[in-house]
């Protein structure tokens, strides 16, 4: 969740917009996880396009970096 909030701020989202979303009264049933995840993936693809990023490569780079950090700590 923290990464999602950091991404939101990095692409120009404001605290006021975020607060408005959080404070909405959600009386309806939450949407299914697969539907929300599909929306998220679509939004990530759009961000990748706008910023000319390869989303999968970014994920691989992060995983490689974390694996290396774990190996450095272990040995």
Q: How far apart are CA 68 and CA 62, in angstroms?
A: 10
Range(s) of the domain holding residue 66: 2-74
Query: pTM here?
Result: 0.66
State how many domains the chain has: 1
**Residue written as token pair 């970096």:** 65
Q: What is the pLDDT of residues 5-29, one digit of tens each?
A: 899 999 999 989 988 888 887 777 8
27-74 confidence digits (pLDDT tens): 778 889 999 999 999 999 999 999 999 999 999 999 999 999 999 999
pLDDT, position 28: 77
């Amino acid at each position: 969740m923290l990464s999602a909030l950091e991404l939101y701020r990095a692409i120009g989202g404001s605290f006021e917009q975020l607060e408005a979303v959080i404070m909405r009264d959600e009386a309806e049933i939450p949407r299914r996880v697969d539907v929300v995840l599909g929306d998220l993936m679509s939004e990530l693809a759009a961000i990748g396009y706008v910023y000319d990023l390869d989303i999968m490569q970014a994920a691989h780079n992060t995983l490689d970096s974390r694996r290396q950090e774990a190996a450095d700590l272990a040995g």
